[in-house]
Structure 1
């Protein structure tokens, strides 16, 4: 090892993930305290000076190996504890209206960051920008009958579906709470839809299926609203109109179901069957909510 001593080599080894827990025994003729200190500070498992006895060396190698195994076992146990803590944090209850933080989804901004983004954009002329709202159909009922973890996962799945469906487009997305997403698209073709609702729901339910979710969900897309604004208030007014458009679509569908469940809602047969089951579930939930854990949610 020209130009490299044992301690420098150990320093390099310990920074390689595959050698983080590998036993390292220093065999050296150097016995001054500084070298000993440096060796252990760099992660040496043991330190043996020459001349050494081979039987003692073998014994200390076995000891180092046993120590390594115990440390790996302890580390795995600690990782399990951390994973459990993460799950408990993940499952922590939240309100339906809360704008949940969704991690590891491209082009997704948190609530405040999205507002700041819109505020910054409003200083320029947003002639080619438009707002679009995407709403999880009957999200309030899904929230009522799901665990916090399951609802959060469904919202995350919808976010991933939107981003995947809008691949190649210039947009920003934000979850606003209550099962609702807002997207601002900077469209080069303003008459082209942001995403196809049919395609979005195909992707959405494919993601749900990969996660083992047995039921079908549906996302509704509101009408795009131009962001032709010269002020912050006008920009946010456009966002509100986009939200109102998606909410109006949901209200119309729910009203049709209340009036005539057999009415054509423009959805696939399996989606209609699912919505019909949801009506029955909703009635049962309203009848027995005080007798279940959902009543305290």
Structure 2
């Protein structure tokens, strides 16, 4: 696996290179500036499999370099690990917003570097196996099918909406916050009402568009805060923001109406006019370790699932079944028309028989006097 490590501190760069070498990664290219690194990336013919960028560098910072690399088609999915001594929330936010896959805080242990790179190597190996075993057209078809076909429970990646992370990156983000200000944050979950029906009725791309527009509405309403969002699957969005944003969460109410058309001439015709988002009760983060951060996430999801179930139960209980529910008006009209046609046919047959016999036909039924 070919790795590019970038850091303006030559001693830190040497230590990182030694740590990688001790873990068995010898194919490492180093660079001491973001600008030089980007030129190297553009000129390289062998393609890098992983990047490690220092956040704070003069000129082009590691975050700016991350944005530029993500803008290159051939590197839009290559893992990028930010390596820095800065653990403040704003740096973590900026790194993940720029497209970082993970975040390694100095000082770090050699085994931690090896564990992170090991996961990266596995991803790169799978990607290499695909490219070697299929043609370019077959790969494009596979990627297109992968991008459009998702089960309802799949954590779909929603690109094109700022501050929306894919689910693995969101978990990594929670892990980094747990080292500093995670306990000062609020986690919340919001569920797309009737997600099962929408997923079953809409084409895959249109369902994904409903999710994308819903995510944008949520973030627009919370734009004053450093809110990050992810789609977890089953119609559920999960987000996190500073605790001082709890009042803003409360102001959302129980439901959010999403105008899916919004006078947009480019809106797919299959999209419904609107969708409803159910807002769950937020959970104030109290744990600092990774298991605790995931426990808060699951609690937030449980809150919104409970509220969605309660709303559905209440609506079913309040619904009064009428005659029209059992036998809808359209069905009534249809049956009445069929009866009228049948009566007209019987009457016509009786008149024809009378004209033939000169009298009404006698009943075959015996009448008791």
TM-score between the two structures when normalised by the length of structure 2:
0.44
Task: Confirm or deny that 1:205 pairs with 2:263.
Answer: no
Preserved CA contact (<8 Å) 1:170 1:187: no
Give, in whole Å, the separation in 1 of the partners of 2:260 and 2:211. 14
**Residue 130 of structure 1: how far off its partner (Å):** 0.7
Q: What do you get for the CA RMSD once the two structures are aligned?
A: 3.1
**Structure 2 match to 1:102:** 158
Q: Secondary structure at the match of 1:184?
A: strand
Quickly say closer, same or farther: Cα 1:172–1:136, change in 2 above 3 A.
same
Give the Å deviation of 1:88. 5.6
- Please say if residues 152 and 234 of structure 2, whose CA atoms lie closer than 8 Å, have aligned partners that are also in contact: yes
> In the TM superposition, what is the alpha-carbon distance from 1:259 to its structure 2 partner?
2.0
Query: What is the DSSP-based 3-state SS (H/G/I as helix, E as strand, rest coil) of the residue aligned with 1:155?
Result: helix
Q: Which consecutive residues of structure 2, in runs of 5 or more, have no partner in the other structure?
A: 1-136, 329-369
SS in 2 for 1:248: helix
Alignment-derived partner of residue 243 in structure 1: 301
What is the deviation of 1:243?
Answer: 0.4
SS at match of 2:228: strand
Residue 201 (structure 2) pairs with residue 142 (structure 1): no
Residue number in structure 2 paired with 1:284:
none
| Structure 2 counterpart SS, 1:117 | helix
What SS class does the counterpart of residue 217 from structure 1 fall into? strand
CA shift for structure 1 position 152: 0.9
Report what 1:255 is aligned to: 313
> Using the alignment, how far apart are the partners of 2:306 and 2:284 within structure 1?
18
Unpaired runs of 5+ residues, structure 1, are: 1-80, 263-276, 281-297
Distance 1:100 1:161 in 2: 17
8 Å CA contact 1:133–1:222 kept in 2: the answer is: yes
Query: Map of 1:27-106 to 2, 5 A cutoff?
Result: 89=145, 92-106=148-162
Q: Which structure is richer in relative contact order (CA contacts within 8 A, separation 6 or more)? A: 1
CA distance in 2, matches of 1:209, 1:197: 25
3-state DSSP of counterpart to 2:275 = coil
Change in Cα spacing, 1:198 to 1:190, as seen in structure 2 (3 Å) is closer
Give how far 1:200 is off: 3.9
Question: Could you report, residue by residue, the CA deviation over 1:109-156 in whole angstroms, capped at 9, with x for unpaired residues?
Answer: 111000011111112243320101011012112111221122111011
Distance 1:138 1:169, change over 3 A: same
How far the C-alpha of 1:232 sits from its partner, in A, is: 1.6
State the number of aligned residues. Answer: 181
Larger radius of gyration: 2
Distance 1:108 1:229 in 2: 23
| CA deviation vs aligned residue, 1:27-49 (integer Å, no higher than 9, x gap) | xxxxxxxxxxxxxxxxxxxxxxx
Name the counterpart of 1:169.
225
